[in-house]
Structure 1
Amino acid sequence: MAAVASLGDDKRRQLFELIAASNGAVGRDDAALALGLPRSTASFHLDRLVQDGLLAVEFHKAAGKAGPGSGRPAKMYRPAASEVGASVPDRNYDLAGELLAAAVEHSTATGDAVGDSLRTTSYRKGRELAAGAQNLVEFMAGEGYEPMPDGDGGLVLANCPFHRLADGHPDVVCAMNGSFLQGAAAACGEPEGRIAPNSVPGQCCARITPP
Structure 2
Amino acid sequence: MDEGQRLSALASLGDPVRKRLFELVRDSGNALSRDDCAAELGLPKSTIRAHLDRLVDEHLLLVEFRKIGARTGPGSGRPTKLYATARREVSASVPPRHYDLAASLLAAGVQHSIDTGAGIEESLAQVAREEGLRMGQVAGDMHTLLAETGYSPEPDGDGGTIMANCPFHRLSQDHQGVVCALNGSLLGGALEGCGDDRHVLAPDQEISHCCARLVPKP
Normalised TM-score (structure 1) = 0.93
Q: Is the 8 A contact 2:199 2:216 kept in 1?
A: no
The letter of the residue matching 1:88 is V
Alignment counterpart, residue 91 of structure 2, candidates 80, 85, 89:
85
Report whether the alignment pairs 1:149 with 2:155.
yes
The letter of the residue matching 2:95 is P
Q: Report the equivalent of 1:134.
A: 140
SS in 1 for 2:143: helix
Q: Shift in Å at residue 41 of structure 1?
A: 1.0
Q: Report the equivalent of 1:209.
A: 215
The letter of the residue matching 1:16 is F
Q: Report the equivalent of 1:182.
A: 188
Q: Is the 8 A contact 1:154 1:210 kept in 2?
A: yes
Between 1:103-112 and 1:69-78, the stretch displaced more is 69-78
**1:94-109 equivalence runs, <5 A:** 94-109=100-115
**1:18-29 equivalence runs, <5 A:** 18-29=24-35
Rounded Cα–Cα distance in structure 2 between residues aligned with 1:61 and 1:152: 65
Q: Shift in Å at residue 14 of structure 1?
A: 0.5
| Identity within the alignment, % | 50
Aligned residues: 210
> Which residues of structure 1 form unaligned runs of 5+?
none
Rounded Cα–Cα distance in structure 1 between residues aligned with 2:83 and 2:187: 42
**1:30-41 equivalence runs, <5 A:** 30-41=36-47
Q: Shift in Å at residue 196 of structure 1?
A: 2.1
The letter of the residue matching 2:79 is P
SS in 1 for 2:216: coil
Rounded Cα–Cα distance in structure 2 between residues aligned with 1:192 and 1:107: 33
Q: Shift in Å at residue 153 of structure 1?
A: 2.4
Report whether the alignment pairs 1:113 with 2:119.
yes
Q: Shift in Å at residue 29 of structure 1?
A: 0.6
Query: Residue by residue, what CA displacement relative to the aligned partner does 1:185-206 show, whole Å, maximum 9, x if unpaired?
Result: 0011124971122222111011
Q: Is the 8 A contact 1:123 1:180 kept in 2?
A: yes
Q: Shift in Å at residue 132 of structure 1?
A: 2.7
Rounded Cα–Cα distance in structure 1 between residues aligned with 2:44 and 2:126: 57
SS in 2 for 1:194: strand
Rounded Cα–Cα distance in structure 2 between residues aligned with 1:127 and 1:91: 20
Distance 1:152 1:192, change over 3 A: closer
**1:162-173 equivalence runs, <5 A:** 162-173=168-179
Rounded Cα–Cα distance in structure 2 between residues aligned with 1:157 and 1:110: 34
Rounded Cα–Cα distance in structure 2 between residues aligned with 1:193 and 1:172: 24
The letter of the residue matching 1:63 is G
The letter of the residue matching 1:8 is G
> Which residues of structure 2 form unaligned runs of 5+?
1-6
